[in-house]
Each structure stands twice: as C-alpha cells, then as structure tokens.
Structure 1
C-alpha cells in the first residue's frame, strides 16, 4: 500500500477537517468545484490532502466574498502545469475585481447613508415645528412619511 492510499479521507473526515458539513462537500461536488480522488469498492468517496487543500483554497476565496461561479472560472482556467506566478496573477486579478465591486458598493452605501441622515435631520426639524399641517413651501415636507 503506498503512502497516498494510507492518507485517503472519507467525506465525513474531509468535512470535519475542513470545518464544514458533508452536505457542503457534496454541494461543491455538484458544482464541479471538487471531486473525490477515488471511490472505494463500497462506494465511499475518498479524498487526499491535495483535495483538502483545494477545498480550503475555495473557502478562502468564498470568505472574501467571491461567488462560487467566479471561483469555478478561476479553477477551470488554471492549467495543471501553470507556474506559481501564473496562478498568483490569476488569483490577484480575481481579487482585484472583487475589491472594485466592494469599493463600488461602499460608494453606493455612502450615498444612501447621506440621504438617510438628511431625512433624519429634516424630521428632527419637523419634530420641533409647532404647526399641525406642513406649509406648502416647507422644505422638510418630503422627509415625512
């Protein structure tokens, strides 16, 4: 029996070491992100340390907010013989795109925040107003619901 065979992990062991559920492993298999290295005669999915490393790679990118579809593209476009620098460039490019999306979202949220704060300020002015009905020319009228 070679060294590799000794260290094959069943799906439950892989899930435990990865800190996820068996269902997550199966879901990644359904998506084509991961596949067992071997299936035993009894039908058990068997994985290697390299499979665990691949899963952890996927998880790191997922934790950074990348959709699984984009991670799949990164994996699919990765050639087995690629150099370290080629893999780094591909990962860097993907992270760069994700950073741009986050920066865009932050900008949108800042605009929303400013709008909400402006509405709240207007409502504070209205709260102090003694009039029962807003005057037609009241600039804060739009802030009322």
Structure 2
C-alpha cells in the first residue's frame, strides 16, 4: 500500500519537472501544485526546494507571503472580500464583518460543513464598483447587506 504523502510527493514531482525549465519557475510551480491539490500541501515543499536548489524555508516563505496560496484545502466555494483602500472607503469593513457573522467564520477559515472558505483580497480591480468581492472567480460589485444575504444562502446550497 502506498502512503498518501508519497502519492502527493510523486504528483508534485511531475508538476515540478514539467515547469522547472521556465524562467523563475517557483511561482508557476506553486500555481500548478495548488491547481492539482486545491492547496499547497506541506509534503510538496521539500520536493520543490530540492528541485530548485532552495531551502524549505524559502519555499515556505513564498507560499505564506502570497495570499492566493493555501496551506489547507478550501471549501467548495471560495469567497474573497476586497480589503483594499477603495473598497475600505466604500464600506468593506462592514461587508467583511457582516459576511463573517452570516457564515460564522473569519478570514482564512472554512465553514464546518466545508461549504465556503472566506479570504481577504487586496484589490480585485473593481474599485468603481466598491465594495467588491469574488465568489468562485466571479466578481461581484456594489455589495450591500441584501447581496451578502444572497451570497451566504447561495454558498450553503
């Protein structure tokens, strides 16, 4: 019987080998790993580090620096709430507090039922439609309490 960690490392090795020839391959490799697994498993860090002649700490530092990389699986839905200045000036603090209350979770958390992961994001490019969010890659602008109620209900289905 093959150990799950070995399977993860083997799958990561294929991704690393496919992408390591690129110029500046670390970010594309991390994107590939996250696409494959839905997050960047800790078992993949040594595989990446060894292939790119980096330390585990350097790879870990990049994973934790960028907000788009996760170190745990996300929920079935991912809701990103913009926290950049334009959205803040239009009420994103209220939006964040309201959606946290509706979902019963904070940023970087997933609901117990695995329905939704809530993440902050620092600009969606929807400044003219602030406050803004993105649900499963779909942008949503001009958020208000009604929209948040609808989003909360939709992700629970």
User: TM-score normalized by structure 2?
Assistant: 0.27
The structure with the largest helix share of the pair is 1
Kindly name which structure, 1 or 2, has the bigger radius of gyration based on alpha carbons.
1
Q: Which structure shows the higher strand fraction?
A: 2
Give the TM-score of the pair, scaled to structure 1: 0.29
Higher RCO (CA-CA < 8 Å; seq separation 6+): 2
